[in-house]
Amino acid sequence: MNLAGSLLQGLVLLAVAPASGWFIKKMKAASQNRRGPSLVQAYADLGKLFRKNMVISDQASWIFHAMPIVLFCSTVIAAWMIPAIGAEPLFGFLGDLVVFVYFLALGKFFLALAALDTGTTFGGMGSSREMTLGSLAEPAFLLTLFALAYRTQTLSLSGMASRLSAEAPLDGLYFMVPAFGAMLIVAIAESGRIPVDNPSTHLELTMIHEAMVLEYSGPYLALIEWAHQIKQLIFLTLLANFFIPSPALSVASPAAALLAVLIFAAKVLSLALLVGWIEIHCAKLRLFRVPDLLGVAYALAILSMLGQLMMGSWQ
């Protein structure tokens, strides 16, 4: 049962990932007096890409072919490492948070490499920007996780989530708020959303993530897009389970599992609402201002960590 629950939990993340992106799209559409796409569209787009033929540059090496698979697999493994609905993560172990961060980084590394592979202008531009911002987002993300790990005295992601949700909300408010801010900024940067990147632009010169995948089509593109959506959901899930307190969830019985799924959905949607709200109310930052934003994330992470080191000892 436990193993089945763990397996299922990852599969649910895979399945609902396109829906979380769709939700933000729908919000934006509403802000523009538009109706927006139906939920089916999010899946139909992926399905269409999976059925299409691919156009591949004759300059492409094995990296170009390997990237979508590496990216997708590493993201899926990362999805199976995080606490989501209440079951134990499939690949959870003590110290998994570092491995988790670097599974995401592995996908990013291959993505940037493959963008350089075909030698197109925009690909190189995209990977240079992605790596610049990634190198700033990564320490902020790690430090936030370490701050939370210090607070919960465990290095396992699921252990952190369960201890944080068991904590009285007001006790750790002082440390949790900066950590939340830091992780939210990292989440926005890593999932390529406004104000860092504009997922719906056609202006290649302004792109970051999209510039790297311009050469891809068909099933490869479907894998990349899907992995990107899963990554976005991973961040929303982590934020939801670390920072939104809720009763302990379990998948022991079908009824409990249903409740767990509902609570999980409510938490993730409320965060998607927040991300969408920011996206509606913000223009995209000038590229050279993005490091400032990530600097803020890093400072917030330090604040959370230092606060605990200095004040946590009196508790």
Partner 1 sequence: MTPEIERLKQQFGKSVYGERAETGRLTSVSVAPEVLPAAAEFMARVLEMRFLFLAGFDERKSGGGFRLRYAFAHPREDRFLALAVQAGETEASFPSVVSLYPQANWQEREIQDLFGLKPSGHPDPRRLVLHEDWPAGQYPLRKDFPNGVKVPRRQGDYPFERVEGAGVFEIPVGPVHAGVIEPGHFRFSSAGESILKLEIRLFYTHKGIEKLGEGKSPREILCLAERVSGDNSVSHAAACAQALEALSGTTVPERALRLRVILLELERLYNHVADISGVVLDVAFSFGAAQLAAVKERLLRLNERLTGQRLLRSMIVPGGVHKDFAAGALDHLLRETEAIKKDFEQIVHIIWNSSSFLDRVEETGIIRREIAEALGGTGPAARASGVDRDLRRDHPYGVYSQLFFMVPVFAEGDVESRLKVRIQEIYESFKLIHEVAAGLAPGPCLAVPRPLAPMAHALGGVESPRGECFHWLSTDREGKISRWKIQSPSFANWPLIEYAVLENIVPDFPVINKSLNLSYSGNDR
Site residues (vs partner 1, CB under 8 A): 28, 31-34, 121, 125, 194-195, 198, 200-206, 280-289
Residue 34 is classified by DSSP as -
Burial state string for 220-243 with b = 16 or more CB within 10 A and e = fewer than 16: bbbbbbbbbbbbbbbbbbbbbbbb
How far apart, in whole angstroms, are the C-alpha atoms of residue 15 and residue 114?
Answer: 26
> Which residue, 288 or 314, is less far from partner 1 as judged by CB?
288
> Which residue, 52 or 284, is less far from partner 1 as judged by CB?
284
3-state secondary structure of 116: helix
* Rounded least distance, CB 8 to partner 1, Å: 36
> Which residue, 119 or 247, is less far from partner 1 as judged by CB?
119
Q: Which two tokens stand for residue 287?
A: 């590229």
Q: What length is written for the chain?
A: 315
Which residues are CB-neighbours of 45 under 8 A, at least 6 positions away? 18, 225
Residue whose C-alpha is closest to residue 78's, from 233, 270, 260: 233
* Rounded least distance, CB 286 to partner 1, Å: 6
* Rounded least distance, CB 245 to partner 1, Å: 31
Q: How many CA atoms lie within 13 A of 196 on its CB side?
A: 27
* Rounded least distance, CB 306 to partner 1, Å: 29
Residue whose entry in the numeric block shows the structure tokens 């299922």: 8
> Which residue, 181 or 195, is less far from partner 1 as judged by CB?
195
> Which residue, 25 or 228, is less far from partner 1 as judged by CB?
25
* Rounded least distance, CB 199 to partner 1, Å: 9
